[in-house]
Amino acid sequence: MVVSRLPSAALSFKQFLQRQRVLGIYRNMMRTIRQVPDKADRKYLSDWARDEFKRNKNATEQDAIRMMITQANNHLEELQKSLALAKS
């Protein structure tokens, strides 16, 4: 009998990579938000991002997760473009 050293709740490799991608988007989002000049806007955006990621942290359906990753990337790009326009 082969005994696995992995806990029963261990992530598959695909899930692990997807989790890393989500965490990377979250970190990039928070770094970008730190560049927002207005303190109230910065707080609003960071609270919004944190709440969105927390609200969806228990999602397990792969298609839904891919859709949320795409939406998060779109929001991040939009925020980065807005900041670039505001600086110029």
Please give, one letter per residue, the 3-state secondary structure of 41-57.
Answer: HHHHHHHHHHHHHHHCC
Q: Which residue did the predictor score with more confidence, 50 or 6?
A: 50
pLDDT digits (tens, 9 = 90+) for 23-74: 999 999 999 999 999 999 999 999 999 999 999 989 888 899 999 999 999 9
**pLDDT band at 2; cut points 50, 70, 90:** low
Does residue 71 sit within a domain? no
Number of folded domains that form the chain: 1
- Residue 76 counted as domain residue: no
- Is residue 5, in this structure, part of any structural domain at all? no
- Establish if 44 belongs to a structural domain: yes
Q: What is the pTM of this model?
A: 0.83
| pLDDT of res. 4 | 63
11 is a domain residue:
no
CA gyration radius, the chain: 17
Q: Is residue 81 part of a domain?
A: no
What's the number of CA atoms in the CB half-sphere (13 Å) around residue 73?
9
Q: Residue 47: give the domain boundaries.
A: 16-57
